[in-house]
A and B are shown apart, each in its own frame.
Chain A
Amino acid sequence: MFKPLLSAPHVVQRGEVKPAAAWAYRAFAVLIALAAGGVFLASLGYNPFRVYASMLMGALGTPGMQRETVKLTIPLAMASLGVLLAFKMRFWNIGAEGQFALGAVAASYFANFQPQLPPALLISLMAASAVVLAGLWGLVPAWFKTRFGTNETLFTLMLNYIVLYIITYLREGPWRDPAGGFAATPRFPRQARLPELHFPSIGNVHIGLIVMLLAVVLVYLYLRYTKQGYEIAVVGQNERTARYAGMPVKRIVLRTMFLSAGICGLAGMMQVAGPDRQLTDAVAGGRGFTAVSVVWLARLSPLGSLAVAFLFSVMQKGCSMMQTEFRIPASMSDILQGIVLFFVLGAEFFLQYSIRRRREVPA
């Protein structure tokens, strides 16, 4: 009998691709994605080159703009580090948004109600309470996950909304600033604000920058060189293997989620005590969700997360420039973020698989 010489396209797994080649390939995917975004802009009648140029200028054109971009990077990179720890363990913590906001709530309590404390103690208490409260908040879904297998993706997600409305409640009720005209919490007293450091090239930035950079290094070292970091990796790879190896899986999950949420909480504290200086509903402002994209794009690497967080901050800051210059709505930033991620997600396929047309041997 005759058989067709060529069968239908056929997908096979590919061997290991060299890391450098893989990263170059991903960078290429990002470029293609930006080109696709350009096509979208062109279809709306804008000149994409001019729009992208103004975006870059808006994000990095002057020292002042660079400072704003860096200030956007700090909370995003920090939240990404938190998310990263959980993701490394294959625990889908989509709750960074709420953990971030809850950290800000804890910090705001001390800032607004205990301002008489010595400044150093006040700031330390704000930071510590943010870590602990957010960490405990993160433990709730983690505990149910380990005990009953409760779906953590949806659980952590729902907790975001609960925190959001807790803030609304506080703002409209018990924490409302009686001096303010509309329902808002009071502004932080001077001693509850994060001290600023002077950087020669970009000017004054709050010390959250140092904390964030330090955290990148620490998380890198923690995952790479400590026993706990190794345990996280094993649980993430295969929970059963971890159990057979005698690892206390439940404890690892709980510990890691506390850390993950705690770091997000600290990020929230740094945001509210740094640039915001007041607790608002928008304190997290979607960063918790963006952090998920950041971490995924960075392939769960701490240094990579910092780089991607910076890239996203450039996009975000740049898009606000686009809004003033071209009257392009700032939500363009979300669209671009989506497109970039779509392309990188899709591109990953070609790093792992190749498509072949197989020649059949005639029988």
Chain B
Amino acid sequence: MTQDFWGQATAFLYAAVLACVPLLYGTLGEILTQKAGNINLGVEGMMYLGAIAGFLAGYRTDSAMLTVLAGFLAGAGGALIYAFLTVSLKANQNVSGLTLTVFGMGVANFLGEKAKLNAPVGTAFMSERLKALLSPVGIGGLDGLPVIGPLLFRHSVLTYLAVLASVAMALYLRRSRLGLNLRAVGENPAAADAMGVPVSKYKYAHILVGGGLCGLGGVYISMVTCLGNWQPNIVAGQGWIAMALVIFAAWKPLRAAAGSLVFGALSVLRLYVPKDVVDIPAALFTMLPFIVTCLVLVVSSVRLRRENQQPAGCGVNYFREER
């Protein structure tokens, strides 16, 4: 019984880690974007773009490197449209981002379906070799350790990259000159401008890298979560959960890692709760992350803390002449 319980608990935690990676990428990407003073509601769309680009690149080139790169570039490409509209052309951020989501979803579903229509036989696209390169692998036999072995040392390259990205971003934002300037741009672009920080350049650079990170989340979804099999509506709202996780994480990259683990756990909970303990219909379990997100939104707005707020310049386009 206890043996079985621990086995189940470990399996559950492991599944949570598997599920949390795309959420973490999306959250990190959006944190970086919002730190530059822009809210990009296109996370979902950029994840779609990354998912399809990674999928197609993997199918065509059979190279893990190019798969990941294509996903990053596709996400960044989507972000470029958004950045051009909001930074250079001062278009409304909410609508630009939402449009990016519709567009990205359309492009991904379109190209995915076309790839299927054009496929010679069936839908088995990806070579086993490529799938193996991106799927979870044990590191140097360390994954043989009991309990922590698989939890810590048997993951996809993309998972380790996500963890690395969180740590790097935390250091970048808190400890570097560039990070300090970026925060100034997000909080008060006019003051940053007066300090001599090139506001538009900062916005472009960080919105683009943020989009690239979202794209990596998409690559993970199509290559790892779905094992290289394309399916319509593949991202299924994970980008939106990431948007909410930004608030949950209070714009802090390390908290984002912890937060996505919690939400990853929520999304796989259904498979690990024995029917005889809690018998809730499947649909209600699927709803859980979204309900918790609402609660998070409410709680974080009720407990207002100065340091846990959205960057003050968020949502307002900066126009020097209006200073």
Given A161-B290, A172-B283, A327:B102 Cβ within 8 A: no
- Tell me the chain A residues, 157-180 only, with Cβ under 8 Å from chain B: 157-159, 161-162, 165-166, 168-169, 172-173
| B246: nearest chain-A partner, CB-CB | A154
Q: Is the CB of A346 within 8 A of B283?
A: no
Interface residues of B (CB under 8 A from A): 41, 81, 84-85, 88-92, 94-96, 98-107, 109-110, 113-114, 117, 237, 240, 243-244, 247, 281-284, 286-287, 290-291, 293-294, 297-298, 301-302, 304, 319-321
Residues of B within 8 A of A158 (CB): 240, 244, 290-291, 293-294, 297
A169 CA / B284 CA spacing, docked (Å) = 7
- Tell me the chain A residues, 298-343 only, with Cβ under 8 Å from chain B: 327, 329, 331-339, 341-342
Given A158-B240, A345-B96, A337:B106 Cβ within 8 A: yes
* A114 vs chain B, min Cβ distance (A): 24
Q: Is the CB of B287 within 8 A of A166?
A: yes
A189 CA / B221 CA spacing, docked (Å) = 42
A315 CA / B89 CA spacing, docked (Å) = 27
Q: Is the CB of B105 within 8 A of A334?
A: yes
Given A11-B321, A150-B301, A296:B95 Cβ within 8 A: yes
Q: Is the CB of A342 within 8 A of B99?
A: yes
Task: Jot down 7 A-B pairs with beta carbons below 8 A, ordered by A.
Answer: A158-B240, A334-B105, A337-B102, A342-B99, A345-B95, A349-B89, A353-B90
* A37 vs chain B, min Cβ distance (A): 11
Give 11 A-B pairs besides A335-B107, A341-B95 with Cβ atoms closer than 8 angstroms: A148-B301, A150-B298, A150-B301, A151-B247, A165-B287, A166-B287, A289-B101, A293-B99, A337-B102, A337-B103, A338-B104
Residues of B within 8 A of A334 (CB): 102-103, 105-106, 109-110
Q: Is the CB of B106 within 8 A of A332?
A: yes
The 4 closest A-B pairs by CB, nearest first: A334-B106, A338-B103, A169-B283, A349-B89
Residues of A within 8 A of B98 (CB): 94, 289, 292-293
Q: Is the CB of A289 within 8 A of B102?
A: yes
Q: Is the CB of A338 within 8 A of B99?
A: yes
Contact of A12 among B102, B283, B321 (CB under 8 A): B321
Q: Is the CB of B240 within 8 A of A161?
A: yes
Q: Is the CB of A341 within 8 A of B99?
A: yes
A322 CA / B105 CA spacing, docked (Å) = 19
Contact of B103 among A290, A292, A335, A346 (CB under 8 A): A335
A149 at the interface (CB under 8 A from B): yes
Contact of A346 among B91, B243, B301 (CB under 8 A): B91
